[in-house]
Chain A
Amino acid sequence: MQKIKCALIGSGNIGTDLIYKIQRSEYLEPVWMVGIDPESEGLKRAQEMGLKTTAEGVDGLLPHVEKDGIQIAFDATSAYVHAENSRKLNALGVLMIDLTPAAIGPLCVPPVNLKEHTDKYEMNVNMISCAGQATIPIVNAVAQVQPVDYAEIVATLASHSIGPGTRANLDEFTYTTSNALTKVGGARRGKALAVINPAEPPMIMRNTVSCLTDETPDEQAITKSVLAMIKEVQKYVPGYRLVNGPVFDDKRVTVFMEVEGLGDYLPKYAGNLDIMTAAATRTAEMFAQEIIEGTFKPRPVEVA
């Protein structure tokens, strides 16, 4: 069966983990890995796994896009360079899956709103953040039952799983995730907190999701909706699990989750890495299916 050829930009934790996810896909094939440091572990790993590589950044990839038939690119660099990467690749008709906090395109959480984006044939979709992918489905599950005035999430991540880019720009992570709790989650106001824990052995990613509902929460309906949503996420992240709750306290609903990864590039504790790369892969697969079936043809985006 035909597979859609992909390029991965950024050879850090996320880019490297993506190679594994995409290689397993029925619809996607990883062809290029783009980095900026020829000595990076990610580029070496990509070569070993049979990908073509360049350490010249996106400009090193551009001359090969047409010849190698690249139709989808994943950007796991940083918010600061994403806009330029996206402009250059969109101009060649390559669809961008953005894993940086840049968020130029619409925000995507697969079980909540992926269908909307494929229906509109977007050329750039943003995956928000690992904490966003892990918590927005739960906020949305509550918001589907009744209006949520405020959603607050606390994501705790193992120190080893957080790369230098995220560390140096923690505010961007906070702003992007908070914004998405309202835009995609459906809460009126949102706040995201991140904690980086260095415990040895490393702790599995934890997420605590709290929602304040306008009216007294319908305990049965919310519990049912949350459990159904967890099953949806488990389709692409099997280690997405309820630990405690939902707990109901006046108008507050609290759900305690953990995310265990598949252990592809980083060990299983780094569920934050998995939920991001798995969500991006699932998003790309939905577009790829449309391309294969001929219902979507990515077109060059004219540069203004």
Chain B
Amino acid sequence: MTDSMITGDLKGRKVILHDMCLRDGMHAKREQISVEQMIKVATAMDDAGVPYLQVTHGAGLGGNSLQHGFALASNEEYIHAVSSRMKQAKVSVLLIPGLGTMDELRSAYEAGARSVHVATHCTEADTSPQHIACARELGMDSTGFLMMAHLNDPKGLAEQGKLMESYGAHTVYITDSAGYMLPADVKARVQALRDVLKPETEIGFHGHHNLGMGIANSIAAIDAGATRIDGSVAGLGAGAGNTPLEVFAAVCERMGIETGVDVFKLTDVAEEIIVPMMDHIVRIDRESLALGYAGVYSTFLLPAKRAAERYGVPARDILVELGRKKMIGGQEDMIDDTAMTMAKERGLLKAVAS
């Protein structure tokens, strides 16, 4: 990090926090968070003043599948259970075109969702027009979410963001799905968006903590003009988790950035509710570091560990190979496929005669 990273005084800047524990965190829990647990987490966060909570299967609407795993309840059941109990927080959902559909978005809206991240790979924004338009028609807070943003340059991202704005997105996100970016990368990308988007269009940043940069990257994003930040309390999310939201809120308070959340209440949620829920301690272990280092989709972590057990090829080798083959979000099927192909090359698996 250089001194030029933070150029402005951020005192007095207002930022909207968006918690991902009950969506990105589903990945870290193999989609096994119960409705009761969701209610407990969400009501505590609502009480701590978090304005937006994302609630769906880890892969979003339409996510229940062999490819992405089956959750304990339907998206509608989760959304309804949470949204009906919120005093101030709004419930948001994730929709990845090609997986989720407009029918599922309408159904999520009926269940109480009022905000949506419509997510595409960072070069494929033009697969999202019908879904963003549908969200706007429903009156939802609509975000265009450019995933794996390290794989596109600032100029390219600006063009993609402009497309999403033209479809009706209120906000465009730079999404560091691989936890690969460094603060200067984030700043250049957010600035490029700020230069081309309308002044009323907001910019957001969604980080992963695979290289420990979640907080620094989010601050860099705010410095360049972002007003919305995704994180998850105690970092419950894919890979080494999202930007830990309670830590980020504390840093914001020190810097005079206004988030409207109660830091100590959030630290209670982290310590008393989220950490005890974890199946494994979400941290930068050898494999999640490999994700950030090689630029691999964070969600691939646990399936790669499972494939490693099954086919005898180390998870880190599988992840690095997936990065080399430029696999993107949604290609979870290629984890087993790649593991099998590597196992054949290493003489650990026999091919079917064809």
Q: Min CB distance, B69 to chain A, in Å?
A: 12
Q: Min CB distance, A195 to chain B, in Å?
A: 4
Q: Does A54 contact B (CB under 8 A)?
A: no
Q: Does B65 contact A193, Cβ atoms closer than 8 Å?
A: yes
Contacts across chains A and B counted by CB atoms under 8 Å: 102
> Which of A174, A193, A245 lies in contact with B67, CB distance below 8 A?
A193
Residues of B within 8 Å of A208, CB to CB, are: 67, 333-334, 337
User: What separation, in Å, do the CA atoms of A206 and B67 have in the docked complex?
Assistant: 14
Residues of A within 8 Å of B99, CB to CB, are: 193-194
> Which of B66, B126, B130, B330 lies in contact with A195, CB distance below 8 A?
B330
> Which of B131, B333, B352 lies in contact with A246, CB distance below 8 A?
B352
Q: Does A193 contact B98, Cβ atoms closer than 8 Å?
A: yes
A161-182 vs B, Cβ < 8 Å mask (1 yes, 0 no): 0001001111100110000000
Q: Min CB distance, B337 to chain A, in Å?
A: 5
Residues of A within 8 Å of B123, CB to CB, are: 159, 198
User: What separation, in Å, do the CA atoms of A252 and B334 have in the docked complex?
Assistant: 17
User: What separation, in Å, do the CA atoms of A191 and B97 have in the docked complex?
Assistant: 14
Residues of B within 8 Å of A244, CB to CB, are: 336-337, 340-341
Q: Does B325 contact A (CB under 8 A)?
A: yes
Residues of A within 8 Å of B65, CB to CB, are: 152, 191, 193
User: What separation, in Å, do the CA atoms of A208 and B101 have in the docked complex?
Assistant: 20
The B134-170 residues at the A interface (CB cut-off 8 A) are 151
Q: How large is the interface on A (under 10, 10 to 19, 20 to 34, 35 or more residues)?
A: 35 or more
Given A171-B97, A196-B127, also A156-B334 (CB < 8 A): yes
User: What separation, in Å, do the CA atoms of A247 and B325 have in the docked complex?
Assistant: 22
Q: Min CB distance, A300 to chain B, in Å?
A: 36
> Which of A175, A195, A200, A245 lies in contact with B98, CB distance below 8 A?
A195
Q: Does B281 contact A (CB under 8 A)?
A: no
Q: Does A256 contact B352, Cβ atoms closer than 8 Å?
A: no
The A191-222 residues at the B interface (CB cut-off 8 A) are 191, 193-200, 203, 206, 208, 210, 212
Instruction: Report the nearest A residue to B326, measured CB to CB.
Output: A199
Q: Does A168 contact B129, Cβ atoms closer than 8 Å?
A: yes
Given A152-B67, A170-B130, A208-B333, also A159-B124 (CB < 8 A): yes
Q: Does A292 contact B (CB under 8 A)?
A: no
Given A191-B65, A193-B98, A244-B340, also A164-B126 (CB < 8 A): yes
Q: Does B73 contact A (CB under 8 A)?
A: no
> Which of A168, A191, A197 lies in contact with B326, CB distance below 8 A?
A197
Instruction: Report the nearest B residue to A156, measured CB to CB.
Output: B331
Q: Does A254 contact B (CB under 8 A)?
A: yes
Residues of A within 8 Å of B127, CB to CB, are: 167-168, 170, 196
Q: Does B294 contact A (CB under 8 A)?
A: no
Q: Does B102 contact A (CB under 8 A)?
A: yes
Q: Does B57 contact A (CB under 8 A)?
A: no
Q: Does B328 contact A (CB under 8 A)?
A: yes
Q: Min CB distance, B321 to chain A, in Å?
A: 13
Q: Which of B66, B103, B123, B354 has the most chain A CB within a 10 Å cutoff?
A: B66
Q: Does A83 contact B (CB under 8 A)?
A: no
Q: Does A243 contact B341, Cβ atoms closer than 8 Å?
A: yes
Instruction: Report the nearest B residue to A243, measured CB to CB.
Output: B337
Q: Does B327 contact A (CB under 8 A)?
A: yes
Chain A interfacial positions (CB closer than 8 Å to B): 150, 152, 154, 156, 159, 164, 167-171, 174-175, 191, 193-200, 203, 206, 208, 210, 212, 223, 227, 230, 242-247, 252, 254, 256
Q: Return 18 A-B CB contacts under 8 Å, by A number.
A: A156-B330, A168-B127, A168-B129, A170-B127, A171-B130, A171-B131, A193-B99, A195-B329, A196-B124, A197-B331, A203-B325, A206-B334, A208-B67, A227-B352, A243-B341, A245-B352, A246-B352, A256-B337
Chain B interfacial positions (CB closer than 8 Å to A): 65-67, 97-99, 101-103, 121, 123-124, 126-127, 129-131, 151, 325-331, 333-334, 336-337, 340-341, 352, 354
Further contacts, 9 of them, CB under 8 A, given A159-B123, A195-B98: A154-B67, A168-B127, A175-B101, A195-B328, A197-B327, A199-B325, A208-B334, A243-B337, A245-B340
The 4 closest A-B pairs by CB, nearest first: A199-B326, A208-B333, A194-B98, A195-B330
